[in-house]
Amino acid sequence: MHELSIAQEIIRIVTDQQKQHQFKSVEIIKIKAGGLSGIDPHALEFAFSVVAEGTCAENAQLDIKSEKIKSTCRKCRHAAENPNIFSTCPQCHSLDVALEASPSFEIVALEVE
Amino acid sequence: MTEIKLKKSVHHRNQIQADLNRKIFQEAHLLTLNVLGSPGSGKTSLIEHTVRHLASQFKILVVEGDIETERDADRIRALGVDAIQFQTHGACHLDAMMVAQSLENTNLANLDLLIIENVGNLVCPANYDLGENLRIVVGSTTEGADKPLKYPEIFLNTAACVINKIDLLPYVNFNLDEFEAGARQTNQNLKFFPTSCTSNEGINQWCQFLTDQTKKN
């Protein structure tokens, strides 16, 4: 649901950049999503299409690369890529697992005209 | 086509304000809680009980976040405790800017405890740091024991989880152990406080926890 706030923040960042770099339009917005960003890309695309209307990012495409959640078991030291947030060790099933995943959601680059 | 390299987080603006809020709260030696949970889990009832128990010991301010109405702030004011209502008019969560705006005209130096009740929602508030010391999740026996498995992120940076409405345990199909085990899958260090705002069970333990936390500040 908060994808709308995220989309508004993206537009704020992009229009700030436009003032700085004086480009006409944004074609692609490249985004890196941490494993724990909690942002649904489809909901974001919908929200973005609404808030981007009439801005320089009106026709921009969101290129979202999602990072995997990595985990290391503190008991057996097994390292794994977890399909989701639940941090059970796939090898020894221990719950004592250190998660390596970021809640970040970052614009890494803009392709502009 | 030209590429502009950026590395700008969409949470950057919120994080800067959250860090500033945290600094201001620390300077005022204030313990700040961000209270999260579903609509109807009993967040406001728990806060009412908390201020009733602690108002003689601590100077408390409550910030109530809701989409509309002053109802929750009125409930707190009825107990003789100051409350500020923040209406988000649609937004599903509080952010750090909203908290700063709510507190604009408040002198924090005289306060010991600031309780911020977030908008009732188990999803979106998880991603917004408000600058609080402790994130608290309020669950309840009527919501079902599988909620921590369905909404894991809300438990990630949470210090304590209140499991409310335990007076209803004989009437609802709720397994306390299952709830706790589910929440521990995302957060091993979570403390649990089973409570009832009807029978008062567990309220003393919960308030003792908060009293201990204020001493750390």
Kindly report which listed range (B20-34, B146-160, B199-213) carries the lowest average pLDDT score.
B146-160
- Does A2 score more than 90 pLDDT? no
pTM: 0.88
Quote the minimal CA–CA distance from B149 to chain A in Å.
8
Q: What is the pLDDT of residues A21-48, one digit of tens each?
A: 999 999 999 999 998 888 889 999 999 9
Residue A1: predicted pLDDT: 66
* Listed residue (B17, B28, B15) closest to B61, CA to CA: B28
* Domain count of the fold of chain B: 1
Compute the average pLDDT of residues B156-181.
96
| Nearest chain A alpha carbon to B94 | A2
Residue B216: predicted pLDDT: 83
In a domain, B21, yes or no: no
| Nearest chain B alpha carbon to A9 | B10
Interface residue B1 vs chain A (CB under 8 A): yes
Interface residue B5 vs chain A (CB under 8 A): yes
- Does B217 score more than 90 pLDDT? no
In B, residues 142-171, which contact A (CB 8 Å cutoff)? 149, 152-153, 156
Interface residue B123 vs chain A (CB under 8 A): yes
**How far apart, in whole angstroms, are the C-alpha atoms of residue A97 and residue A90?**
10
CATH code, B113: 3.40.50.300
Contact (CB, 8 A) for A100 and A106: no
Quote the minimal CA–CA distance from A8 to chain B in Å.
9
CATH code, A76: 3.30.2320.80
Disruptive mutation site among B9, B97, B146, B153 for chain A (greatest number of A CBs within 10 Å): B9
Residue A32 DSSP one-character state: E
What range defines the domain where residue B96 resides?
A: 29-216
What range defines the domain where residue A99 resides?
A: 3-112
Q: What are the percentages of helix, strand and coil residues in chain B, rounded to 5?
A: 40, 25, 35
Compute the average pLDDT of residues B162-167.
98
* Domain count of the fold of chain A: 1
DSSP for A68-99 reads PEEEEETTT--EEEESSS----TTT--S-EEE
Q: Are strands A105-112 and A97-100 parallel, antiparallel or unpaired?
A: unpaired
CB pairs under 8 A between A and B: 90
Disruptive mutation site among A5, A13, A72 for chain B (greatest number of B CBs within 10 Å): A5
In a domain, B2, yes or no: no
Q: Using CB atoms, which residue from A36, A103, A112 is nearest to B4?
A: A112
Quote the minimal CA–CA distance from B95 to chain A in Å.
10
**How far apart, in whole angstroms, are the C-alpha atoms of residue B207 and residue A17?**
48
Residue B185: predicted pLDDT: 84
- Which chain B residues touch A36 with a CB distance below 8 Å? 153, 156
